[in-house]
Structure formats: C-alpha cells, structure tokens
Chain A
Amino acid sequence: MEDVITLDYGSGGQKTAELIDSLLVPAFSNPALNVLGDGAVLEGNGQLVFSTDSFVVSPWKFPGGNIGRLCVCGTVNDLCMAGGLPKYLSLSLILEEGFPLSCLQEIVASISEEAARTGVIVATGDTKVVEKEKGDGIYINTAGIGFLRAPFLGKDRIREGDRVLLSGSAGCHGAAVMMARAGLVRTDSAKPGNALVSDCAPLTKLSAAALASGTIRLMRDPTRGGVATTLNEFVENGPLCIELTEAAIPVDPPVAAACDLLGLDPLYCACEGRMLAVVDSKDTDRVLDALRSTPGGEQAACIGVVTRSRPGCVLVTTRLGGRRLLPKLSGLQLPRIC
C-alpha cells in the first residue's frame, strides 16, 4: 500500500480491492459484508427505522473524537431518537487524493470500535477518490437501519405540563470543533472532565434507559443548531410553548469559556452525544434517575416545562431572573471580532 491515497485507490480495480481487502474488510468483518456482493442481505423482522447522514467535519480529528466516531454516532443516534434499535450501517468513503493512509487507518479503527460499542455492523460500503483540492481530505456518508421499538414518539404527543430533559452539557461538540478549527486546542487533548472535548457518543443506552423508565413523548439529539434550535422545532407552529430555566441547563465550564472567547452561545452549539426528551411530568424523576445512572447521562437535568404562555415559542428565564425568547439559529454561527 502507498502511504497516501492516490486516484488509483478509487479506480475500482486492483488498488481499490487492495484497500478493501487489507483495511476495510478486516476492520468490519461480518457475514453480510464479507461476501462483498453488490448489496448486503440482512436478517430481520418488524418495522424498520431508516436514516442517513453525511459527515464533512473539518478538522477531521477534534478533541474527543474524529470523523469516524462521528459517522457511526450520528446515524446511530438518529435511529435511536426515532425510537429504533440500530442494527446495520452502510459506509461510503469519499477520499481526497493525497489523504494520508495512516489517517484513514485511524478513522477506520474508530469506526470499527464505535460500531462494536453500539452493536451495529457495517454491512455494505463504497469507496471513491476525488482529485486533490476537490475534497477536504475525507467525507463520509453512513446510512443506518434499525428496528422500531418505540412506535409512539412524536411532536403531536407533547402535552402542557410535560417536562424537558437534557442528558448532559450543551454545546460540547460544537465548541470543541470551533476551538480546534481556530487552532486553540490540541486535537488530541482528550481528557474527559478536564479539557474541552466533544461529547460525540452513541445514545443507544441512554435512549433505552429513558424509554424503559417512563412515558416519553419525543426524543431528539440536538446536533446542528444546538439545544435552542431543536426545542424550537418541538413547538413551532403549534399551541404549546417551552419555558426553560437557564440555571438548570448543564454547560461544562470549558464549553462556557470557549463560547465566551469565540462569541458563541452554547445553546446554539451542536451536541453529538446528548439527547433532549420531553416526558410526562409524573415520570420526570424516574427518567432523570435512569439517565443519571447510565454512563454519559450523569449530568442529566430537567431544564424546562411545556406551557401555553407563548404558543410556538421557546422562552428562557435567565440566571438574573430576566425573561427572553430563545429563537432558532439563523445561519452559521460566526466567530466574532473582539
């Protein structure tokens, strides 16, 4: 193998086969994949949940993860939030000519590790190579299939009086990537609880814990647009309102500090391993306990309540006691000047 990706690796010929046989199949080995057919034949019964997501994160490696981990968690989490139990992934790699093979190996190892951790298999895949400067190192698309276990979730299930839970600190992923992009943190400084790290993690266990412990109306992972935007999507164009208590929203101090520095708001920064859940108020404590006793959910908190005070809006009571609207994100979050 060469030490960088060349156009030959995307030719469909011998070099492509070399990449598949020496790197990809050994990393993901399973009966569905190993036959290397044009498509995978899968086992399963029941209603399916199907989702897809593309990953273009830059830099591909950030504190607390890399694009490989992210491409598994992103799709797995979408399936979980839709009430599914994730089972199968497809993996499509778009590589830029010149991308170091060692980096690809690191990414593939992360994908393999994360897939094993979440109980999904990579059942089918594809590799393409684009010319130098026609891509940003690596892009990945994954699609996922899961089996529906919670068929009762939806915005229309939300009731007045319901509580809004968040499973951990807001904004970790967005803040970590922005800081890495600015060259202000080392991309390998992954000491949880210490430095600024992405929250990139699968929500399989947290969502299962929530579903098993109470009446859940709706679950979503607040990725792009962050907690603020996702909560707005829960109530927009409807008769209900979400009222948040700012002091109750967990924000890790390094995230708060990074956002302060860059002029960002943690409530608009992406999470990649957190879930928002709207729960029946009588089950609030039970669901919170279940989340808090699941790894990754230690900081889970009840951050708000569903009311009718301003239909279609999200309101927040600030620490100071002031009250304001919390609208959706408009456009990109751009770092400020001073």
Chain B
Amino acid sequence: MPCDSAFKNPKDAQLVLEKIAQLSGRTGPVRLMEVCGTHTMSIARTGLKSLLPAQITLLSGPGCPVCVTPAGAMDAVFALAKDPHILLASYGDLLRIPGTQRKTSLLSQKAKGARVESVYSPMDALRLAKAHPELEVVFLGVGFETTAPGTAACILQAASEKLSNFSVLCLLKRTEPALRSLIEAKDFGVSGFLCPGHVAAVTGSDAFSFLPKDYGLPAVVAGFDAADLLYSVAELMRMLADGRPGLKNEYVRVVRPEGNPAALSLTDRVFSPCDAFWRGLGCVSKGGFAIREEFALWDSARKFGFSFSEGAEPPGCCCAQVIRGVVPPTDCPLFGKACTPQDPIGPCMVSSEGACAAAYRYRQIPL
C-alpha cells in the first residue's frame, strides 16, 4: 500500500524509531498535532501510535474538511435539498454527516426523495448541470486550500459558458486563521505541528512559517506515507530537544516554499477571505473563502438566500473538543457506545478522515 511502501526494509523504520525514542528522553512528554485528515488515516493505518514512545502523544486537529463544517450548515443544506428543483452535488464524504438532529444526513434525505449525487470533482457537478437544464445544480464546496482552486476553476468555467443553472455553496476554509485561533485558545496544549502536505502543495511551505515565528512552535510539512510521518516526527522531536523551533519541509518532492502560483491565483481570482464558522472553533476571522461579487450568479448563498447559524452540537458529543485536540476521541462518553461508524452522532465518527472514525476503525493493539 502506498502509505507504507516507502520502507523497503523494516530495519530502516527501526532506526528512525530508535532515534525518536532517544530524543524523547531529552524532551519529556510532548503533544504533536496533525491537521490533515489524510495524516489522521495514515497514522492510524500504519499503526504508528503503537510504535512511538509513551511520552509522545499524537493528536488530530481540525484537518478533516467535513468535520469542521458546522452542524448548522448541514441543517441549512438539508433544507435546500428538500426543494424538488435542486440537485445537490456533493463529495461522497459529506453524505453521511449529520446536522443538529440525530439521524439526519444527505443520504437519508436522498432516501426520502431528495436529489443528491455523489461526485468526485466540481467539474462532475458542472456536467450534471448541463445534463439537467431543468434542475438547479448546487455543488457543495467544502474543503481547504486544496479543493479551492478546482472549485474556482469550475466557477470560471460556468461563468465563461454562462451556465445559469449551476452554483456553488461555498463552505471552503482557510487553514492559517484556524490554526491561529486554535493556538490562541486558553486550552491549547500542543508542542509542535505536522503540517498538511496537500494544503502546503498549494499554499507553499512558507505559509506555515508563522508557527515558529509568531508562536515559537516547531512545524514540519509532512507527506503521507509511513516514512514521511516517521521522519517528520523525528524532525519535530529534534527541534523540540534542541529548543530550536523552526519550519522544515519534509515533503520536498511535492511541496515548494512558494506553493503553486497557478492554483493560488485561481483561488484569488474567484474567492476572497471571509469570516467563517468552524465546528469546534466557532467564528474564525478570515477563516473561510467567499465567492467574489463578480461571480454572484454562481454563488448558491446569494442565489437561494442561504444562511446558517453555527448550530448546537448533539448532546454529549465531544466533536468540537476532539477537533481542537483537547479531548481524545476515546475520552468522549459516546465513543464506541452510542456513537459508532454504523450509527454516528458526530461528524468525526462519520468522515473516513475523522479522528473518531480513525480511532474506532483502527484501534491500536499493544504489541
């Protein structure tokens, strides 16, 4: 499997693990956070946690794009889905996410007759709009800086073709303001960050230099296979042990310091930063993307008067704290009891990249 394939020889992994163990003797207990759903899953699938010394705690932060979409937004999406003239096109991940009410999701709306299609890219949604001129196709644009350029390209295409039955419900999020909000919260207790390789491929690794510069926190832009993760953890440990926080780019085969200028300019052409609700973080100043006025015709929020409040979390659900890394999934009173992937209550148990789903599916077994 790709996420494990980088170590042809298990002994290489052993050497890095020994180095990490040595360093942890110098650092004492540390808490390292990743902020990318793909990291969450890779860490779980490779069994990395079961191999690290007890002093190192790996935490998942707000890196799962559907998990950080507030319950209130989902309620508003369900309301939109009730309109028989609207076809909602969504990434598969989002289909099972509940709103504020238990057992509500796009899948259940679909079963009741709502028009919901799972798509792999916003361009698929554009094709749906062309194939169904009688319907209004609304693409649910969720994600971070990674999905923003593709969504932007799609809006530009719709604009150039003057496609009038297509629009994007923009719930896209910006990483840096959310990280700042997380770090500035009273209960923040993280020693260093594994930065998201996919986001950095777009934004550039330099976009994370604020972590050491403004907050004295070491940061490593990490790739996704076992070797990437191990080396990145070792690098964070080295910086912590030396007391010299900095920014390292471990994922040099993909990530450049300046990022992808073409993708960045597409994003900037279509979107502008706006305040946005993040589940767990509340309203984050400049924490999201809004569609620029110029493209208002393709903005579902303007077209359908879409608005939402943050929405209350389901009773007992700790997703908001899990997303901030304050409560480990297994400490949530609902985890594995009332809340399982078969019958989820919070989004972190639903998304394939959610921290609770990873903790549940890939429970680590001590050696």
Tell me which residues across on chain A come within 8 A of B364, comparing CB atoms: 322-324
Q: Which of A257, A318, A322, A335 contacts B120 (CB 8 A)?
A: A335
Measured CB to CB, the nearest residue on chain A to B127 is: A183
Report whether B4 and A318 are in contact in the complex, using a CB–CB cutoff of 8 Å: yes
Report whether A322 and B65 are in contact in the complex, using a CB–CB cutoff of 8 Å: no
Tell me which residues across on chain A come within 8 A of B366, comparing CB atoms: 323
Count, chain A residues at interface, CB 8 A: 34
Measured CB to CB, the nearest residue on chain B to A330 is: B341
> How big is the B interface, by class?
35 or more
B60 at the interface (CB under 8 A from A): no
Tell me which residues across on chain B come within 8 A of A331, comparing CB atoms: 96, 341-342
Q: Determine the distance from Cα of A265 to Cα of B46 in the docked complex, in whole angstroms.
A: 12
A39 at the interface (CB under 8 A from B): no
For residue A215, give the distance in angstroms from its CB to the closest CB of chain B: 29
Which residues of A (310-338) have their CB < 8 Å from a CB of B? 310, 315-325, 327, 330-331, 333-338
A20 at the interface (CB under 8 A from B): no
Report whether A318 and B37 are in contact in the complex, using a CB–CB cutoff of 8 Å: no
Report whether A336 and B93 are in contact in the complex, using a CB–CB cutoff of 8 Å: yes
Tell me which residues across on chain A come within 8 A of B234, comparing CB atoms: none
Q: Which of B10, B147, B353, B361 contacts A319 (CB 8 A)?
A: B10
B191 at the interface (CB under 8 A from A): no
Given contacts A263-B353, A337-B65, contact A324 B365 (CB under 8 A): yes
Q: Determine the distance from Cα of A251 to Cα of B2 in the docked complex, in whole angstroms.
A: 10
Q: Determine the distance from Cα of A259 to Cα of B5 in the docked complex, in whole angstroms.
A: 14
A182 at the interface (CB under 8 A from B): yes
Report whether A324 and B142 are in contact in the complex, using a CB–CB cutoff of 8 Å: no
Measured CB to CB, the nearest residue on chain A to B120 is: A182
Q: Which of B1, B94, B143, B198 contacts A251 (CB 8 A)?
A: B1
Tell me which residues across on chain B come within 8 A of A259, comparing CB atoms: 1
Q: Determine the distance from Cα of A333 to Cα of B46 in the docked complex, in whole angstroms.
A: 19
Q: Dominant SS at the A interface?
A: loop
Tell me which residues across on chain A come within 8 A of B230, comparing CB atoms: 320
Given contacts A259-B1, A335-B120, contact A318 B47 (CB under 8 A): yes
Measured CB to CB, the nearest residue on chain B to A313 is: B365
Encode contact with B along A253-285: 1 for CB under 8 Å, 0 otherwise: 000110110110110000000000000000000
Report whether B118 and A335 are in contact in the complex, using a CB–CB cutoff of 8 Å: yes
Report whether A323 and B352 are in contact in the complex, using a CB–CB cutoff of 8 Å: no
Measured CB to CB, the nearest residue on chain A to B147 is: A338
Report whether B47 and A323 are in contact in the complex, using a CB–CB cutoff of 8 Å: yes
Encode contact with B along A289-312: 1 for CB under 8 Å, 0 otherwise: 000000000000000000000100
For residue A338, give the distance in angstroms from its CB to the closest CB of chain B: 4
For residue B354, give the distance in angstroms from its CB to the closest CB of chain A: 11
Report whether A334 and B47 are in contact in the complex, using a CB–CB cutoff of 8 Å: no
B317 at the interface (CB under 8 A from A): no
- Can you list 16 pairs linking A and B with CB atoms under 8 Å apart? A184-B120, A256-B2, A263-B38, A317-B47, A319-B7, A321-B13, A322-B364, A323-B47, A324-B50, A324-B364, A334-B93, A335-B120, A336-B93, A336-B353, A338-B38, A338-B146
Contact surface of B with A, Cβ cutoff 8 Å: 1-5, 7, 10, 13-14, 37-38, 41, 44-51, 65-66, 91-96, 118, 120, 124, 142-144, 146-147, 198, 226, 230, 340-342, 351-353, 360-367
Please provide the 10 A-B residue pairs with the shortest distance between their CB atoms, ordered closest to farther.
A322-B47, A334-B92, A330-B341, A319-B4, A318-B47, A338-B146, A335-B92, A260-B2, A325-B363, A182-B120
Q: A320-B47, A337-B353 are in contact. List 13 more A-B contacts (CB 8 A).
A: A256-B1, A262-B120, A317-B47, A318-B45, A320-B7, A324-B363, A325-B361, A331-B341, A331-B342, A335-B118, A336-B91, A336-B353, A338-B144
